[in-house]
Amino acid sequence: MPRKSEIERETKETRIELSLEVDGSGRTEVDTGIGFLDHMVSSLARHAGFDLRLVARGDTVVDDHHTAEDCAIVLGRALAEALGDRAGVRRFGSAYAPLDESLVRAVVDLSGRPWPEIHLEFVRDTVGQLATENIVHFFRSFAMEARMALHVDLIRGDNDHHKAEAAFKAVALALREAVAVTGGDVPSTKGVLD
C-alpha cells in the first residue's frame, strides 16, 4: 500500500497545499514565498527520498513566522498520515551531515510521542528571508505534528547557512532510515506506537 498523503489547510494567515509520497525518489516542488525555506524543505525531501509538492501562501508581509510554522505543521501531519499505524517501519534513525565546516547530528524515533530537542546555536537573526529562530521552530512543529522524538544537535559550525542546511540534511537522512520498511509488525514492545 503506497505511503502517501495529501493535505490542504487554510487559515486567516496561510493557505497550504501539500502532497507527500514517503517511498519516492526525492522529487520536489516547493514554493512557500520564502526562498531559504524552499531551499531547506526541498533539501529535506530530496535527501529523505520523499516526493513532495508544497505550495504555500502566507502573510509574509507581516513576517515569516506563520508560513514557516504552518508548513512544518502540514508536513508533519502529512508524514504521520502517510505512515499510518507505523507497522513495519524501522522506527529509529540517526545520521550525521556535514556542510563544509558545519556538522550536525539528527536522531529520530517514530514513537508516536512527540519530543523535539533542537540545539543549533545560530548567531545571525536571519538567513535570507527566514529568521533563524523559525528554523528551530520549524523542526519543533514538524516533530510535534509527525508525532516523533527528534533530536538535532550542532556539533560544530561557523556559518549559519551551513548549520541550517546540515541540520535539514541530517534530519532527512535520519528519517530515510526510520521510515524504511523492515517487517510487518509495529516496532514496539507495547504493540502500538502511541
DSSP secondary structure letters along the chain = ---EEEEEEE-SSEEEEEEEESSS---EEEE-S-HHHHHHHHHHHHHHT-EEEEEEEE-TTT-SHHHHHHHHHHHHHHHHHHHTT-TTB--EEEEEEEETTEEEEEEEE--SS-EEEEE----SSEETTEEHHHHHHHHHHHHHHHT-EEEEEEEE-S-HHHHHHHHHHHHHHHHHHHT-B--SS-SSTTSS--
The arithmetic mean of pLDDT across residues 8-27, rounded, is 97
Domains within the chain, CATH numbers bracketed: 4-178 (3.30.230.40)
Confidence of residue 189 (pLDDT cuts 50, 70, 90): low
The arithmetic mean of pLDDT across residues 105-125, rounded, is 97
For 137-154, write each residue's pLDDT tens digit.
999 999 999 999 999 999
Residue 185's pLDDT is 73
Residue 28's pLDDT is 98
Residue 93's pLDDT is 98
Confidence of residue 47 (pLDDT cuts 50, 70, 90): very high
Residue 173's pLDDT is 98
Mean pLDDT rounded to a whole number for the chain: 95
